[in-house]
Amino acid sequence: MVLDSWYRPSGISSGWLNLNHMLLLSFVIFKLIHLSRNWLPIWDVSSYAFVLAFSCWFGFVTYRWLKRHPLASTIASYKKAVLISGCDSDLGNILARRLAHRGFRVLAGCSDPESPQAMKLQSISRVDVLSLDVTNQNSLDDTFRLVEMKLEESENDLWAVVALENLMEIGEMEWLPVDKMQRMLNVNVMGSVRMVKTFLRLLRKSRGRVVISSSAFGDAPFPGLVGYSVSQAAVSSLGRGLKRELAQWDIDVSVVQPSLYDTGLSRIAERKTSFMREDLLELPEQLRGDYGHDYFIGFWNAMNRFVTDNANPRCEEAVSELVRAITTVWPETLYRAGSWRQVLFHNLLDYLPLELADFSMELLIKNQIEPEAVVAPAN
């Protein structure tokens, strides 16, 4: 169902309404089970507590499923614009085209408006390609003025700000260059902060929403991706905290966590060549000796196996979750996108004991070569 116009009654948060609906559904389930007391001899005190807990859990799961699928209502795109950063990536490019097809006015921010991905968007009538560097506040200020002008010309409201700009650096923390770590934090974390702060003024007028792309690695830091995981954990915290701060303005905030996609973000072969030719030579000689040349080769081979075996070659699931976060009437705080196996794995990691989670990650990404400084004492 598509709603032509919709505003949430002021003062009613989505979290409070969701909780009420979930508890109501749980109560109905409990009462239905309770009717069985006359013909099922299970109603002692412990069974009563179990059935009550089961009813709450089942009500929560059922309500979330109903809200996401059969009963999901979407908001019409009439006179609504969406600003997206990172549209010169595969994910941002596909999202921009998908939203334009649904009738939204798309303001597609690209760090390089002349890139091949940006050029693909130039021919779409409902897409305006903008130069946008989320690491530069001057660029954001210029984009803000341009967005204001385009909104006034088209008589649209800015409905959503989508922060998709993302940078991944691969390497173990001890030998990942600090400047690469700083650049990653500047793009992923501070870029999202700047993006949201700059355009919040327009979102308050429309009572729209903020959608921030994070990563499942923010909740599950794998070896070799610790620096990237740090940035994604910060972005996830940003989104969850903003949801609470902006509830008073009736602005919804969602975090979308795509799983691993082989869409060019990782580029293992290219990164391996760059590291072996440049970054490795800049490491202190003692550090190179402690690890050994074979260890670095083994690390990149392990990363290549990990991406080859586990990466999803297409990002349609992530795009669908982003569209859902932008268009559904009652968006969720967190969306996880990926194949059913990827989503199930990351959901299980939330509840597994730390030892089992560590063991699972070691199986997925294991360097078969030990550092020379570890092996040498045994020789």
Joined together, the tokens standing for residue 294 give: 């074979």
In a domain, 199, yes or no: yes
Q: What are φ and ψ of residue 340, in 5° steps?
A: -60, -30
- Domain extent at residue 158: 78-262+315-364
pLDDT for the residue 105: 94
In a domain, 289, yes or no: no
In a domain, 282, yes or no: no
In a domain, 168, yes or no: yes
Question: What is the rounded average pLDDT of the residues 168-190?
Answer: 93
Based on the structure, what is the number of domains in the chain?
2
Name the band, by pLDDT with cuts 50, 70 and 90, for residue 269: confident
Same-domain status, 141 and 22: no
Tell me the average pLDDT of the chain.
83
pTM of the model: 0.81
Same-domain status, 35 and 120: no
> 319 to each of 15, 94, 109, 214, 325, how far by Cα in Å?
24, 7, 17, 13, 10
pLDDT for the residue 20: 62
Half-sphere exposure of 79 (CA within 13 A, CB side): 9
Other Cβ atoms less than 10 A from the Cβ of 169: the count is 19
Same-domain status, 10 and 146: no
Same-domain status, 184 and 121: yes
Statement: residue 58 has pLDDT above 80: no
Same-domain status, 217 and 246: yes
In a domain, 156, yes or no: yes
| Residue of 211 and 35 predicted with greater confidence | 211
Contacts of range 165-169, beta carbons closer than 8 Å, 24 or more positions apart: 165/85, 165/86, 165/89, 165/109, 165/111, 165/134, 165/191, 165/192, 165/195, 166/86, 166/89, 166/213, 166/215, 166/265, 168/225, 168/228, 168/265, 168/266, 169/227, 169/228
Same-domain status, 33 and 171: no
SS3 211: strand
Statement: residue 210 has pLDDT above 80: yes
The angle that helices 45-68 and 14-34 make with each other, rounded to 10 degrees, is 130
pLDDT for the residue 272: 86
Give 56's contacts (C-beta < 8 A, 6+ positions apart).
23, 26
Statement: residue 205 has pLDDT above 80: yes
In a domain, 374, yes or no: no
pLDDT in tens, 84-131: 999 988 889 999 999 999 999 999 999 888 888 888 898 898 999 999
CA distance 275 to 281: 8
Contact 3, 75 (CB under 8 A): yes
Name the band, by pLDDT with cuts 50, 70 and 90, for residue 138: very high
Same-domain status, 51 and 116: no
Question: What is the rounded average pLDDT of the residues 238-249?
Answer: 94
Statement: residue 11 has pLDDT above 50: no
Q: Which span out of 17-26, 121-130, 307-316, 364-373 was modeled with the highest average pLDDT?
A: 121-130
Give 43's contacts (C-beta < 8 A, 6+ positions apart).
37
Residue 361's identity, in one-letter code, is M
In a domain, 372, yes or no: no
336 pairs with which residues across the strands?
Answer: 257
